[in-house]
Amino acid sequence: MVMRTLLCLCAIALWTGPRSAAATRQAVLSAQAPHTQSVTCPGYVAGNVSQTGDGFTAELTLAGPPCALYGRDIKRLELGVRFDTKNRLHVHIKDSDGQQFQIPHGVIALDPGYGVRNASSSLWFDYFHDDSSGFGFRVSRGDQVIFDTVGHPLIFEDQYIEVTSNLPANANIYGMGESPDFFRRNPANTIKTLWNRGSPDLLQQNVYGSHSIYMELRDGLFHGAYLHNSHGMDIVLANSTIQYRVLGGTADLYFFGGPSALDVIDQYTELVGRPSRIPYWALGFHNCRYGYKSVYEVNSVIAKYSEANIPLEVAWTDIDYMDRTRDFTFDPVNFPLAEMQKQLAYLHERGQKMVLITDPAILYNSSYEVYARGHAKDVFIKNTDGSEFIGQVWPGYTVFPDWFAHNTSSWWSGELKRYFDQLPIDGMWIDMNEAASFCTGSCGTGKSAGSVPPYPWTLDPQPPHRIINSSDTLLVPPYAIHNREVELSDLTIETTAKHANGASEYHVHNLYGHMESRATHDFLVNYRPNQRPFILSRSTFAGSGAYVSHWTGDNSATWQDLHISIASVFDFGIFGIPMVGADICGFFGNTTEELCARWIEVGAFYPFSRVHSALASTPQELYRWETVAEAGRRALRVRYALLPYFYTSYQRSVENGWPVARPLLFEFPRIPAVADNDRQLLVGDSILVSPVLAEGATSVVALFPAGLWYDWYDYSVIKGVNGNVTLSAPLEHVNVHVRGGKIVPTQEPAMTTADSRKGDFEFIVAVDEHGAAAGELYVDDGETFDTASRWIQLGYAGKALRIRQRSGKFKIIQPLSKLVLLGVTGISKVVVNGSGINASLKAVNGSTIVTDLDIDLNVETLIAFS
């Protein structure tokens, strides 16, 4: 045992971000923690080791007097080590009595793996005893130690767990959130707080979701780690360490050997769940606004997009359509059901779609049938006295579905069925599911069911915060995570509230949005058998990608938020939710013409591409300014041409978990300059987008890795040397380059994805320095689960393109009619499977365009050029 200055105090002292509420809470708690300068933490001693076929177990016993750092030390622990797969290691430290809360298997069914012997694993586990810190362990990959707790005592208390691992100096760490931030986390001064919070995006603060997965790049190779725990926590990077500080549960750790970034994400999503299959139409462009006054205004917006010749795939409506913002209702004056049905029919006639919003909070009023039916089935979260917990959301005092209750799924499905039977919308948008509340505690308890209180932010003066009850450690745990609010219960469900499984909200808070996502997904796949659902959720957790897509929430119309949006999209690629995007042009505040133009030039390449603005902001539909409209037309034309490539990339997400939007780092990990590059993005591995992110700029400095990069528009070539190139970027132009050595499938863009799919295929063959290129194409019906499919392998070498049928029997109707051979010249003849054809050839800027082809993509084909 030694006296030890806590790393957590050092890290807090280094924290420089905005944290007024957390600071207030920390100050309130300081009187409870007189041991905050130094404290004896003995660690544990390992014993009674028992080998298994794919790992071992051991007992951990407290090595000395309890340190009682932030709770009651648990004296006896169990260590389980299992080599789940060749590249995944599971290390679980839990209390021997099994009293600590763990995420139920029924909530997140982790893949167990097939189990391998240590000798067959790419990872190695060693444990040690240190006289000053007790038990510690190391996880290694070959000669490289990737996780090392030796020298840092394990602290395992009923309401606080601390696990610390050494890191190299200036480590390259990515992931951990959800938190708007630059992509590479600051290794010397980062605190990522995981406590779901429904609040506007603020730099480096915790917001809607909780994802503890992180990746580290070391010596050109990636590895990763994930802590499977639903409690609030801080993950701290400081003093060449990463430290987990968790408010309960167990230390349930998984390690991923990589060695590439895509390998780590593959291994992680194999564990928590692969991304869901999306309908093809979800890849189109979407429009929404909070503040549309009527269905007729939305009709006008739909028409104006068409008049402006800007593609519009999906018309969204925010809470405005509801009757007094009550779920599953329609405003009888401004959004009457009959008119909404007409709008949906009109959209469907034109190949377009409709998505509407739904919140989990249900109006507390016995005359509201949705509530009455739920109350009768006992589906709502309770206070400790057994009464219904009543918060406040848009419609007034509200109750919240308890996803652990026996009848909740059937009740939720019943309400959704009544809703869809009236208006069979194409997708669902589930919002406010952190769950958000406008007050602290059960503020509606004792109030009349029909009363509608004012929104708290409209009160002047603002009411004081309630007196903090520090005697209840579920309300105020001894360790204060860096949640921005004063209390964990602020703006959400009270942490003492009870769920039907006996758990307090304290233990399961971060799971709420994930469980709503699964319940909603389950309804849709049963309501529309064999039809892929599209669900957009604000709150997410590990594994949510198996059910929903995500947008990054309530950002602001600022240049910084435009920049940060790219990093946030990269984050969710790591988190296993590849269908992600930010509100284009910004949600809060008034965008500008220039900012909106630049934002659509980025947003056209988000996997999920939607413009969305707030109630009080200036309208920002793309047709509002001609420069924005033109920027949108140009950028979306590229997107719609790339739809086959986007869809192929997304199928890789479904099968391997790989992100659609990626940083250069994932493809070029050995180039030091890309380690913190979050100002450019790759779509898949072949399309590089270099947008303008600064006000007033008409050029952009872009990094080009070694190799050939072809301009999308004029086919000019840049010979990358792992350095920067200055590109011209007039206001209406975004720079897009095709990576040499890649083949990109496209189709002629149209105003909807359905019409785009009707066009002939065109392949862009971008050769590398050796005159070679490769790519692939995935095709299915884009709608159903049991669709036939087809994978096609594309390869170009020796002035010949080979089309190989890798798998599948889907019948592709559209032929290949055009080839763009980037970097290929001197062609005078085209031969298909040994026979010459009368193709048209055109030389353009060092490349060749081949048209008048009629190639059946369902058969093996060799196209030779001479």
609 in Cβ contact with 639 (< 8 Å): yes
State the pairing for strand pair 549-551/580-581: parallel
Question: Both tokens of residue 458?
Answer: 């409209």
C-alpha distance from residue 34 to each of 21, 70, 152, 179 (Å): 21, 11, 22, 31
Span between the terminal Cα atoms of the chain, in Å: 78
Which of 258, 118, 706 minimizes the C-alpha distance to 126?
Answer: 118
State the pairing for strand pair 773-780/742-747: parallel
Map residue 100 onto helix, strand or coil: coil
247 in Cβ contact with 296 (< 8 Å): no
Task: Give the full edge-to-edge strand order of the sheet including 160-166.
Answer: 155-157, 160-166, 241-246, 233-238, 190-194
Which of 232, 197, 186, 198 minimizes the C-alpha distance to 212?
Answer: 232
Burial of 452 (0-12, 13-18, 19+ CB in 10 A): middle
248 in Cβ contact with 158 (< 8 Å): yes
Element (H, E) at 245: strand 241-246
What is the Cα–Cα distance from 355 to 87, expressed in whole angstroms? 40
SS3 per residue for 372-416: HHHHHHCCECECCCCCECCEEECCEEEECECCCCCCHHHHHHHHH
Which candidate in 434, 505, 571, 630 is catalytic? 434
- Strand partners of residue 253: 91, 227
What is the Cα–Cα distance from 676 to 667, expressed in whole angstroms? 13
554 given a catalytic annotation:
yes
What is the Cα–Cα distance from 245 to 248, expressed in whole angstroms? 9
Name every residue whose Cβ is closer than 8 Å to that of residue 504 and which is 6 or more positions away in sequence. 474, 495, 496, 497, 498
Which candidate in 431, 583, 601, 732 is catalytic? 431
840 φ, ψ (degrees, to nearest 5): -90, 135
State the pairing for strand pair 88-95/251-256: antiparallel
Which candidate in 388, 554, 732, 776 is catalytic? 554
431 given a catalytic annotation:
yes
**Torsion sign over Cα 86, 250, 178, 654:** positive
CA 775 to chain centre: 26
Name every residue whose Cβ is closer than 8 Å to that of residue 673 and which is 6 or more positions away in sequence. 703, 722, 723
Which of 604, 611, 583 minimizes the C-alpha distance to 304?
Answer: 611
* Residues noted as catalytic: 431, 434, 554
